[in-house]
Structure 1
Amino acid sequence: MSSSSVHDEKNIELVKDPEQSSSLESLSEIGESNIDPELKVEQLAEEMGINHRKLMWKIDVWVVPPFCLLYFLSFLDRVNISNANLYGLTADLNLVGNQYNTALAVFFVPYITFEVLANYCIKFVKPHIWLSTLVLLFGGISIGLGFVQNFAGLVACRFFIGVTEASTFPSIFYLLSTYYSKVESQRRFSLFFSCTALSGAASGAIAYKIHDLNMVHGLESWRWIFIIEGAITCGCAFLLFFLIADFPEEARFLTANERQFLKAKLEILSGTQSAFEIKNTLKDVAKCFKDWLIWLSAWCYFFLIIPSYGYAYFAATIINQMGYTAVSAQQHSVYPWVCAFGVINVVAFFSDRFQKRLPFFIGCSTMALIGLALVLGSPDAPKTRYAGCFLTASGLYSAMPLIVCWSSINMSSHIRKSVSTAWQIGFGNIGGIISIFIFLAKDSPRYVPGLSVCVGSVSLAIFTGIAYFYACYRFNNIKQTDAYKQEFNALSEREQILAGDKNPRFVYMY
């Protein structure tokens, strides 16, 4: 059976390139042999006249940087409110009680609600159109935040930023997972995710410089944070329209020969077909939620999100309360993010090098646990608390891309990748709401309740990560039993393709 052919005429569109008929016949012969998958790929590359290494460099250049820029802008416009708050947002808008926390929380309501729907829609609207339009919209709303006059205006803008950003994170992970195999993925995923660290650093650095614009044209410095960063985002949206990559089957920067090879390569290495051509239904979406792997990875990400957003939203405030001025706190908030950027990418390199996920996940989570413990347990030692910020940021923001990459690359077929990434990130971000309401002004400067919850949350993330590992290990063994293979082979051809990683030939990574 050719890996590029399709089997259900009612649901699957047959895709063929006459110029590649000989290559496809060769692929069929290779696919039925017992040759090592990596060797199969190299044989196919030679047969199709593809320089594999050169092609991967081409994909890296065209795919990863635009997504890095996109998420850099997204995270920047999401967390810059914490920098604005240091410059007087709460006082100027007359916020009282927990209204500031409410303004932070309202972002997550649409952000969580629309994750799965957004990933479903991206199959119908080309990614470069869909994502660049969303960037333009949330950049414009960010500019609007610079002109709000009261709590209602602040909440409305935060809500609509949540709506427009709902598709950015899960869609990017979804798209990335369609370009790279399991052993190629982590360093690309983490490079993209490390933009959160760069964005956090940039937010503090920009805010540090913007302080000089206070009352220029009658606008407070906190307003200029939103206006300038929003304007930069809108400008980049037009650039991203031309740069963002679509799915491999439609990628404009690849030749027809390269698209055919990449699709075949990923199918050989996974042992399954991509199912890109299948028109999915809501019933197909619902069926994905019966899988324990999707739920375990979502819970693991949820437990990491609580301390991660807690740090992103309140680190500048905590550093400020160590004795620094508001302006100096902006500057000092940059350095832990810069450190995290380096750690994220070093961990990803070695994770791919050794083709392991669990040991690195536990190591990074433990680093975060130690960092949070230092911040919590050293209220009278500012330097120790500040050192804890470095460990916390580096550990958390290295562990998160590990679990997201690990779970998304363990999904095969477009529908399972789409639902898994969207649900993991959507469900996980419920933790963002929790993080906002455990760091209350009345608990300043120690924030004992919030930091204690974060310590417990990271501990649960480690436990859930181990459970996810065990589930992958167990399912790998179950899929090799005769009973399972007979049950799988009894499915219709459409169901077998949509099942993706449930195919006995697919091996879960851990």
Structure 2
Amino acid sequence: MTSLAGMSPTGSEKAVAEHNNIAGGDPINAAEQGLVATDQYGRALVEIDAKAESRLRRKINLHVLPPMAFMYLFCFIDRANIGNAKLAGLEKDLELHGHDYNAVLSIFYISYILFEIPSTVACKLIGPGWFLPAITVLFGVCSVCTGFVDNIHAASGVRFLLGIFEAGMMPGIAYYLSRWYRGRELAFYLSIYVVTAPLAGAFGGLLASAILTLDHFGTLHTWRMIFAIEGLITIGLGLLSFIILTDRPETARWLSQTEKDLAITRLKSERVGTTEVLDQLDKPKMLRGILSPVTLCTAVIFLLNNITVSGLAFFAPTIVKSIYPDTTVVAQQLHTVPHHVPTHPLRRDLFHLQRHIHLWCALQRPPIGTNVMFGNIGGLISTWSFLPSDAPDYHIGNGLNLATSAMTFLLAAAMWMWMRWDNHRREAVDVERVLEGFSQSEVQDLDWLNPGFKWRT
């Protein structure tokens, strides 16, 4: 590793380098001490050995990604398994009529939306290493409790609590991963979570069909077994995560001290004028992040995308039943799986665009909460997209899904083009003149308003 990035420093860069005292010294220690890691143009003042970073990234992937993936998987399953339960008799046993099922679905999203940003704040205050396992256990408990409800009122109450505890999962995961990954890496992994979410529906269908082959689970039968067994799996996963999840690089027992320092430095080295990896609430930064044009646009995109994803998760079993009315319940559950496969290539095509539009939001924690909150307004809309009166062809629901998918693609493409245009505009700005007289903390607080900031496209 070298003490300076491979470039010829300007006068201002030399001044920053002298401030960091990294010329001929250890850049890792300089970054660890909370000093500047980039100049005002956003260029790194330290150069990190690519091979060492690659080894570190592989180790992080091994220890961080698996628990996140499983928690997100069962978060989605515990949310959507009500669709599988409806197919197995929930609607009849709870005496749901007309739009009662749609109403029960909506209750979940009301609490989910209301508690999205408060949950994001709580995650920052408590720490994701503790917060994420805790809410996993709690929404697992809610899933188990759903197996014991006897009427619409009890079902609505449990679904309301489920929304509260699941609200912090997606922004919490984004926040947690931002403690470990660079911006481009973070955008990559978050986009994978987004585009593969429908596959959780396929897994849920397979799991539900397997559960329904059992005669009973304790005193529970049919659809009640789905909630109880899947909820217990979720609780076990949450309890295990308390043990295996590491809150941050500084506390990772599986990293050496050199690796811990490298993990921190590589994050600082791509933040414009950043002297620290922020983990505390910062109101000005939060407002700038929320009002970022990219945050607002991706919030709308997530809203549109969630109408399709959530709608299919909740209503695919119902649609399948109308197509195969004479088959067994287990066979109908299995028929809910294949429809997720042909939609995946389209989502993979959208993957690269979604990587770019998620990048800024990946770097800012409160905007992630805003994004997910708006996205779940789309989930709320989806609960009323497939109505009994529109059966069996569901022209309204299918037409809505087609329209939202098309708009998602167009908005993502427009955002990508705007980011490229804005980067080109910023290249003509005299950054030193604009930032003249600004203190280091003031430069750091500018975030995307810093003229040296560039969108990564």
- Range into which the TM-score falls when normalised by the shorter chain: 0.7 to 0.9
Partner of 2:27: 23
Q: Alignment length, in residue pairs? A: 434
- Shifted more, 436-445 versus 81-90: the winner is 436-445
Please give the residue correspondences for 1:172-187 in structure 2 after superposition, counting only pairs within 5 Å: 172-187=173-188
Residue 395 of structure 1 aligns with an amino acid whose one-letter code is L
Partner of 2:417: 470
With over 3 angstroms needed to count, the CA separation of the structure-2 counterparts of 1:332 and 1:491, relative to structure 1, is farther
Partner of 2:167: 166
With over 3 angstroms needed to count, the CA separation of the structure-2 counterparts of 1:278 and 1:142, relative to structure 1, is closer
Distance 1:404 1:488 in 2: 32
Residue 146 of structure 1 aligns with an amino acid whose one-letter code is G
Does residue 200 of structure 1 match 2:201? yes
With over 3 angstroms needed to count, the CA separation of the structure-2 counterparts of 1:174 and 1:461, relative to structure 1, is same
Does residue 45 of structure 1 match 2:49? yes
Q: Which of 313, 327, 330 is 1:327 aligned to?
A: 330
With over 3 angstroms needed to count, the CA separation of the structure-2 counterparts of 1:331 and 1:402, relative to structure 1, is same
Distance 1:206 1:213 in 2: 12
* Contact 1:181-1:409 within 8 A present in 2 as well: no
TM-score, normalised with respect to structure 1: 0.76
Partner of 1:292: 293
Partner of 2:346: 395
With over 3 angstroms needed to count, the CA separation of the structure-2 counterparts of 1:322 and 1:264, relative to structure 1, is same
Residue 329 of structure 1 aligns with an amino acid whose one-letter code is Q
Distance 1:30 1:93 in 2: 59
* Contact 1:128-1:244 within 8 A present in 2 as well: yes
* Contact 2:268-2:274 within 8 A present in 1 as well: yes
Partner of 2:8: none
Distance 2:122 2:443 in 1: 23
Query: Gaps (5+ residues) in structure 2?
Result: 6-19
With over 3 angstroms needed to count, the CA separation of the structure-2 counterparts of 1:215 and 1:171, relative to structure 1, is closer
Residue 49 of structure 2 aligns with an amino acid whose one-letter code is A
Residue 27 of structure 2 aligns with an amino acid whose one-letter code is S
With over 3 angstroms needed to count, the CA separation of the structure-2 counterparts of 1:399 and 1:270, relative to structure 1, is farther
How far does residue 406 in structure 1 lie from its aligned partner after superposition?
Answer: 2.7
Partner of 1:383: none
Partner of 1:448: 395
* 1:309-348 CA-partner distances (Å, limit 9, x unpaired): 11111122222222252321211222343x3xxxxxxxxx
Q: Which of 498, 501, 504 is 2:445 aligned to?
A: 498
Residue 45 of structure 1 aligns with an amino acid whose one-letter code is D
How far does residue 243 in structure 1 lie from its aligned partner after superposition?
Answer: 2.3
Q: Secondary structure at the match of 1:335?
A: coil
* 1:97-128 CA-partner distances (Å, limit 9, x unpaired): 11101111111112122222222222221212
With over 3 angstroms needed to count, the CA separation of the structure-2 counterparts of 1:303 and 1:491, relative to structure 1, is farther
How far does residue 141 in structure 1 lie from its aligned partner after superposition?
Answer: 0.8
Please give the residue correspondences for 1:91-240 in structure 2 after superposition, counting only pairs within 5 Å: 91-193=92-194, 196-214=197-215, 219-240=220-241
Distance 1:94 1:332 in 2: 25
With over 3 angstroms needed to count, the CA separation of the structure-2 counterparts of 1:35 and 1:329, relative to structure 1, is closer
* Contact 1:185-1:409 within 8 A present in 2 as well: yes
Distance 2:74 2:229 in 1: 12
Distance 1:29 1:438 in 2: 51
Distance 1:289 1:191 in 2: 23
- Shifted more, 129-138 versus 478-487: the winner is 478-487
Please give the residue correspondences for 1:406-485 in structure 2 after superposition, counting only pairs within 5 Å: 406-411=356-361, 417-482=364-429
Distance 1:440 1:187 in 2: 36
Please give the residue correspondences for 1:34-113 in structure 2 after superposition, counting only pairs within 5 Å: 43-45=47-49, 51-113=52-114
How far does residue 429 in structure 1 lie from its aligned partner after superposition?
Answer: 1.1
* Contact 1:404-1:421 within 8 A present in 2 as well: no
Please give the residue correspondences for 1:275-354 in structure 2 after superposition, counting only pairs within 5 Å: 275-277=276-278, 279-323=280-324, 325=327, 326-337=329-340, 339=341
Distance 1:214 1:95 in 2: 24
Distance 1:25 1:228 in 2: 49
Distance 2:107 2:187 in 1: 32
With over 3 angstroms needed to count, the CA separation of the structure-2 counterparts of 1:278 and 1:241, relative to structure 1, is closer
With over 3 angstroms needed to count, the CA separation of the structure-2 counterparts of 1:490 and 1:250, relative to structure 1, is farther
Distance 1:181 1:231 in 2: 35
Distance 1:178 1:216 in 2: 41
With over 3 angstroms needed to count, the CA separation of the structure-2 counterparts of 1:33 and 1:168, relative to structure 1, is closer
Residue 328 of structure 1 aligns with an amino acid whose one-letter code is A
* Contact 1:131-1:168 within 8 A present in 2 as well: yes
Query: Gaps (5+ residues) in structure 1?
Result: 4-15, 340-389
Residue 346 of structure 2 aligns with an amino acid whose one-letter code is G
Distance 2:59 2:157 in 1: 42
How far does residue 208 in structure 1 lie from its aligned partner after superposition?
Answer: 1.1
With over 3 angstroms needed to count, the CA separation of the structure-2 counterparts of 1:222 and 1:297, relative to structure 1, is same
* 1:145-170 CA-partner distances (Å, limit 9, x unpaired): 00000000000111100000011011
* 1:412-437 CA-partner distances (Å, limit 9, x unpaired): 86xxx102211111111101111110
With over 3 angstroms needed to count, the CA separation of the structure-2 counterparts of 1:25 and 1:261, relative to structure 1, is closer
* 1:58-104 CA-partner distances (Å, limit 9, x unpaired): 01101111100110110110100000000110010001111101111
Please give the residue correspondences for 1:4-19 in structure 2 after superposition, counting only pairs within 5 Å: none
